[in-house]
Amino acid sequence: MSLNGRISELAAKHRHLDEQIAAEQKRPSGDDLTVQDLKRQKLKIKEQLRQLKAS
């Protein structure tokens, strides 16, 4: 996979995690641990994107 393809794939996953976080936070009985895990995943992807863009 090309560098741009990988960046696009990670960006799409990042957006999807954003949507999942928003949906979980809107739920009346949203799970804080789930939100925390999703945010951790999102941060990991953000770091990967930063590294790929820097190379």
pLDDT, tens digit, 9 for 90 and up, residues 9-42: 999 999 999 999 999 999 988 889 999 999 999 9
Per the rule left: phi > 0, alpha: psi between -120 and 50, beta: everything else, 31 is: beta
User: What pLDDT, on the 0 to 100 scale, is given for residue 30?
Assistant: 80
Whether the pLDDT of residue 1 is over 80: the answer is no
- List the domain boundaries for the chain: 1-26
User: What pLDDT, on the 0 to 100 scale, is given for residue 22?
Assistant: 96
Average pLDDT value for residue range 42-54: 96
Widest CA span of the chain, in angstroms? 42
Q: Which residue bears the tokens 């804080």?
A: 32
Residue type present at position 7? I
What's the gap between Cα 10 and its chain centre?
Answer: 8
Whether the pLDDT of residue 5 is over 90: the answer is yes
- Which pTM value belongs to this model? 0.86
